[in-house]
Amino acid sequence: MEKQIHTPLTKDKMKDLKAGDYVCITGIIYSARDAAHKRMYEAVMAGEDLPFSIKDNIIYYMGPSPARSGQIIGSAGPTTASRMDKYTPRLLDMGLSGMIGKGIRSKEVVESIIKNKAVYFAATGGAGALLSKCIKKSKVIAYDELGTEAVHELYVESFPVIVAIDSKGNNLYNQIS
Amino acid sequence: MRRINTEEIITNIKEMCIEANYKLASDVENGIRDAYDKESSRIGKRVLGQLLDNLEIAQKDLIPICQDTGMTIVFITIGQEVHIEGGSLEEAINEGIRRGYQEGYLRKSVVSDPLIRENTKNNTPGIIHYNIVPGDKLKITIAPKGFGSENMSRIYMLKPSDEEEGIKKAVIETVRLAGSNACPPIVVGVGIGGSFEKCAVLAKYALTRDINIRSDKPHIRRLEEELLTAINNMNIGPAGLGGRTTALGVNIETYPTHIAGLPVAVNISCHANRHVKREI
C-alpha cells in the first residue's frame, strides 16, 4: 500500500510519513549532488541566494546519465546520501523538507531532521532505468557547467521511495542493525 | 608475430563499454533472480523485484542500468607475440572509452585532479592493468566501477598470526561498514597475499570472475563459501533494508606473499557488477 504525496512537502504532511512507509511522490523536485551541494553551501555562507527556493522542497541526490534524443533523461537513480551530510543540516535549517538518496545519514543529520520536522526517503540504488520512467520533465536550472552534477528541476509522477528516516527520527536503517 | 591495429582495439573497447552498462552479465542477473525467489523480507523482495524490472527496462528502452556508469577499469592481457600497430596502446584504450561513453550515452564521471575536481567530460582516463603472457592473443576485460561501492572498499595489512580468522573478520567488518551505501546485494572481491598494491588489484580482478565459479584451491573455495553464508546472515539485505540477500557472491584471488605479511583487500561491488570480456 503506497501513500501518495504531492510537492511542495509542507510540514503538515509529515505526520503521515512513518519510517518504513512506501510513498509515491508527484510534483517538482530538485536534483543536487556533491558539487552542487558545495556550491549551494558556499552561496549560503556568502549570504547569496540559492538557485531555487528550498523551503518545503525536496532535493534528490542524483546525477543522471545523458538522455538520448526522444528521452527526457537518462538513467537517474539515487547516489549515496552520506556524502551530503556535511551540508545538509544548514539546508534543513533553511526549510528544506525532504531528501531522496540511498544509505545511512550522520547523527547530525538525523538530529536536524527531527529539529526541523523533515524526512529522508530512500530510493532503490542501481535502479536508475526504472526510476527514470517516473521523471516526466527535466531542465537544468543552475550550475550548468557541472555537467551531470548541475541542479535539475524535475517533474516526477508516482516516484517510488520508502521513508527511511521520519520527522520523529525513527530510522529504518537502525531498526535493521 | 601477430599484428593488431589500434583501430581494432578502439572499436572493441568502445563496444564493450556500452555493452557492460546496458546488459548485466548473466551470472549476476541470475543471482538477483534466484535471490528474488528466496528472499523472505517484504521490503527486500520488493527491492529485488525493482532491480529485475530495472534490468528489463535498461535493455528495452536503452537506458543504462545505473546512472553511475563508472570509472572504466580495464584488464588487458597481451600475448608477447603480439605487435600493436597504429599508435599508442594506452591512447587506443582511452579513445575506446571516450567513444563508448559518448556514443553510448554514458555518464562522464571522471575528474582530472582529485582536489581541483574538473570533469574531463569524456570519462577518461581509464584505470588500466597490463599483463604480459606467452602467446599471440589480446584479452580484454572491461569493468565499469561505480563509486558508491568503491568508496566502501578497504585494505588490511594483517599479520601472519591473524590467520584465516583475521581474514574473515576483515571481510565481515568491511561488509558491515559498507551496509546500505554499497547498494546491496553486493559482490565481494577479496585479494589475499602479495603486497599492499597487489592485493588491491587481485580484489578488483576477483570481481570480474563469474560468481558461480569457485576458487580451484580447496581451502580458498571453503573460505568463499563460509564467507558468503556469514554475510547473508548479517541481515543487511537488499538496499540495506533487511533480508537474507546481502551478497550474491564472494570471489577470492590469492598470490604469494612475504614471510612477515598477510595483506587483505576487500573490494565491494554493487549488484550492478558489470564486466565484459573479449579476446582478439
Interface of B with A (CB under 8 A): 43, 46-47, 50-51, 53-55, 57-58, 61-69, 105-109, 117, 119, 121, 146, 148, 151, 179-181, 183, 235-237, 239-242, 270-272
Report the pLDDT averaged over residues A25-49.
97
How is residue B80 annotated by DSSP? T
**Domain enclosing residue B135, as ranges:** 2-20+65-145
Note whether B183 contacts A126, CB cutoff 8 Å. Answer: yes
**Cα of A169 to nearest chain B Cα, Å:** 16
Tell me which of B114, B145, B176 is where a domain ends.
Answer: B145
Other Cβ atoms closer than 10 A to A82:
19
Domain count, chain B: 2
Cell numbers of B270, please?
554493487
Bond preceding residue B125 cis, omega within 30 of 0: yes
CA distance B226 to B176: 16
Instruction: Search chain A and give the residue with CA nearest B270.
Output: A126
> With a CB-CB cutoff of 8 Å, which residues 4-43 of chain A face chain B?
20, 22, 35
SS3 B82: strand
Note whether B179 contacts A103, CB cutoff 8 Å. Answer: yes
Mean pLDDT by 10 residues, chain B (280 residues): 97 98 96 97 96 98 98 98 97 98 98 95 98 98 97 98 98 97 98 98 98 98 98 96 96 98 98 96
A67–chain B Cβ distance below 8 A for any pair: yes
- Report pLDDT for A177: 52
- Report pLDDT for A174: 87
- Report pLDDT for B37: 97
Other Cβ atoms closer than 10 A to B217:
12
What are the angstrom distances between the C-alpha of A136 and each of A116, B6, B106, B132? 30, 42, 20, 50
* Contact list, A133 vs chain B (CB under 8 Å): 57, 61
Instruction: Search chain A and give the residue with CA nearest B116.
Output: A35
Closest by CA position to B202, among listed B256, B135, B261:
B256
**Residue B121 CA to chain centroid, in angstroms?**
23
B135 and B184, same domain (yes or no): no
**Cα of A74 to nearest chain B Cα, Å:** 6
Asked if residue B213 belongs to a domain, the reply is: yes
**DSSP conformation letters of chain A:** -EEEEESS--GGGGGG--TT-EEEEEEEEEE--HHHHHHHHHHHHTTPPPSS--TT-EEE---PPPPPTT-S-S-----BGGGGTTTHHHHHHTT--EEEEBS---HHHHHHHHHHT-EEEE--TT-HHHHHTTEEEEEEEE-GGGGGGSEEEEEEEEEEEEEEE-TT--BHHHHH-
B159 and B236, same domain (yes or no): yes
B172 and B219, same domain (yes or no): yes
β-strands B71-79, B127-133 pairing: parallel
Q: Are the CB atoms for B188 and B177 separated by under 8 Å?
A: no
CATH number of the domain at A2-176, please? 3.20.130.10
Asked if residue B159 belongs to a domain, the reply is: yes
Report the pLDDT averaged over residues A166-174.
95
Instruction: Search chain B and give the residue with CA nearest A20.
Output: B43
**Cα of B3 to nearest chain A Cα, Å:** 37
Cell 578488483 found at: B204
B160 and B248, same domain (yes or no): yes
Residue of B42, B61, B67, B147 for testing the chain A interface, max A β-carbons within 10 Å: B67
Closest by CA position to A136, among listed A7, A29, A8, A43:
A29
Burial class (CB in 10 A: 0-12, 13-18, 19+), A126: buried
β-strands A119-122, A58-60 pairing: unpaired
**Cα of B41 to nearest chain A Cα, Å:** 11
Note whether A104 contacts B108, CB cutoff 8 Å. Answer: no
Q: What is the ipTM of this complex?
A: 0.94
How is residue B239 annotated by DSSP? G
CA distance A24 to A31: 17
Note whether A148 contacts B151, CB cutoff 8 Å. Answer: no
pLDDT confidence tier of residue A176, bands split at 50, 70 and 90: low
Give the pLDDT confidence of A135-156 residue by residue, as tens digits. 999 999 999 999 999 999 999 9
Q: Where do the domains of chain A lie?
A: 2-176
Computed on alpha carbons and rounded to an integer, the radius of gyration of chain A in Å comes to 15
Asked if residue B31 belongs to a domain, the reply is: no
B120 and B11, same domain (yes or no): yes
**Residue B218 CA to chain centroid, in angstroms?**
23
B162 and B111, same domain (yes or no): no
**Cα of A101 to nearest chain B Cα, Å:** 10
Provide the percentage of residues in chain A whose pLDDT is more than 70.
99
